[in-house]
Chain A
């Protein structure tokens, strides 16, 4: 609850509402208090003024013969209005019947009008002290009269009290109603979030293609929904790739497996001649070899994908790696009468930072492809370009080329341009994929340009090694034959042809 947005919104809303309501209530209450006291005071004032007029019109010093129609409201013992006329020394000249045997308290003062609250006959009472002077006689002390008018205000106070209660109860009810309103508002406000989360939980492995529908999502949450949709896009893409890969693997393994199974099963159905057994075994051997080759490559890919491959980065002379690859592939190139051009550059001119064995695999694969997909008596040109801390190796062949719409998929696993797995060129469509993975692990990139029927250029861009100019010429002429040994430091001399 404490960590719920809804609760926070409702609490905040309630706090604001409470302060607004209480301020409003206090304001209302006190303005009413003021209005009531003003009314009482002006009533007292006008009464005392009326008495003053009567007193001033009276000539008799001690006897005020107030007429009944003036006095009626003071007559009864039970009346709640009182008056008293005193001299300035405090002596009472006259008091209303309602005062009875008691008297209204008096404290001498200089100002002509004062109001004072007091407790009279056990009730809350308000009183005015009104000072007048009788003008007819000279300025004697006696001629200052104090008219005291009082009014029992307990009724008004009771009214105020019930008003206070009504205000608080009304406030409480408003708080209750609006708290549920606030709750509803919070819920309504959070509904899109709920919708989004529901949409997200609906999207699972089986329907990764579903997306959060944007139409009813408020502007504030659009970016969130878009971010989620983007995440799902890339998730779906990689998930589909994975699924495609698994189905490709099973597909590619199924065919040789079917060959092995059928050959053995059919052959075992009867007695055969030795020659037949030999032929079948050869077929099974070939199919198993293909499978084993494929499994090996798949394992390499899986390890690359899981980043389980430990690459030992060191300065590597690309020229040397490619020379090694060419030496291994020479028989294949000779067989297809393909000429390979390698630029004559000085050793150490093309140093990159990388894992020597992995890079050898990359260039073996790429040159192998360039030979296999070339025309007979074709050409392969290898060139290096140095640019901005990177070395790019271009391998250009005069082969069949790759159709434009296949270009960005050739690095996908099992992707072969000839979709029918033409058996003329053996291969399983994993080579480029492996190359791509390895080069990416090196922080480099592979790009392919191709013209259908004219040939392709595969460019491998790798980060150049730093500070290699001095260290690479020390061991000239050693380790020529061994291509798989990794060296921890230093470059190796090139110069092989």
Chain B
């Protein structure tokens, strides 16, 4: 899952970048409104964390602009403005959630998870695919009850596939959603990670869950 953070307070943006990355998200950061607007329109993000008071282009303008141009990415407003009016106008302008500073990172994570679930059929923090169980809040993956340790990247890939289960995801899609824009899209790193996942999840079991669709990509199938 790829998250765009638009926040002009550099220290906050950087620590969120670090924290989210450690949670397995791919994170892009824009420190001003102009960059934020460009990235929101041109980078395939799964979620945008948006501050309202931004240099050059205001956060609300970013929000209305991307909504007008048809970007449906969930937007979480993260701002110091806490009046009801601010919240109402933010949500009415197309934001999906609103969190006021200061906030707890745990809460931000929970809200991000909730927003990311929204576009998938999964409604709880656990995904079950055959005998595979993903706990999205703790990042624990079990198959037939036994815990499978995964790295953050591996988990992120598995979660993305699980959230879109039974649907083919192309290599490009996977790279775009799992890596920030500094990453070289031509790389076959996805194949490497798919192999690692296969070794950890499928190799010891009869039913193979990760399916390669030739010429199209990968899919998690139950």
Contacts and interface: CB of A to CB of B under 8 A. Distances in A.
Interface of A: 247, 250-252, 254-255, 257-263, 265-267, 269-270, 280, 283, 286-287, 418-423
B15 interface: yes
Contacts of A269: 19, 22, 105
B15 A263 contact: yes
A259 B12 contact: yes
A54 B176 CA distance: 148
B101 A254 contact: yes
B9 A418 contact: no
B46 to A, nearest CB: 20
15 contacts: A250-B82, A251-B81, A255-B12, A257-B102, A258-B102, A259-B11, A259-B15, A262-B19, A262-B102, A266-B16, A266-B22, A266-B105, A269-B19, A269-B22, A420-B58
A257 B18 CA distance: 18
A266 B9 contact: no
Interface of B: 8-12, 15-16, 18-19, 22, 32-33, 53-56, 58, 80-83, 100-106
Given A257-B102, A262-B16, 11 more contacts: A251-B80, A251-B81, A255-B12, A261-B104, A262-B15, A262-B103, A265-B105, A419-B53, A420-B32, A420-B56, A422-B55
Contacts of A262: 12, 15-16, 19, 102-103, 105
Contacts of B101: 254-255, 257-258
Contacts of B19: 262, 265-266, 269
Contacts of B106: 265
B11 A286 contact: yes
Given A255-B9, A269-B19, A269-B22, A420 B105 contact: no
B15 A250 contact: no
A421 B54 CA distance: 8
A15 to B, nearest CB: 59
A472 B215 CA distance: 93
Contacts of B103: 258, 261-262
A250 B55 contact: no
B104 A265 contact: yes
B140 to A, nearest CB: 16
A374 to B, nearest CB: 20
A427 to B, nearest CB: 15
A112 B134 CA distance: 142
A254 B78 CA distance: 11
B15 A266 contact: yes
A468 to B, nearest CB: 48
A419 B53 CA distance: 8
A135 B42 CA distance: 146
A43 to B, nearest CB: 96
Given A262-B105, A423-B9, A250 B80 contact: yes
A261 to B, nearest CB: 5
Nearest to B56: A420
A421 B53 contact: yes
A423 B10 contact: yes
A277 to B, nearest CB: 13
Interface centre among A247, A261, A420 (most CB of B within 10 A): A420
B52 to A, nearest CB: 10
A422 B54 CA distance: 9
A270 B22 contact: yes
Those 8 A-B pairs whose CB atoms lie nearest each other, nearest first: A420-B55, A266-B19, A258-B101, A254-B80, A258-B102, A257-B102, A254-B101, A265-B105
Contacts of B11: 259, 263, 283, 286-287
Nearest to B23: A269
Nearest to B54: A420
A9 B99 CA distance: 62
Contacts of B10: 423
A252 B100 CA distance: 13
Contacts of B33: 420
Contacts of A252: 80
A421 B104 CA distance: 23
Given A254-B102, A263-B15, A266-B105, A247 B22 contact: no
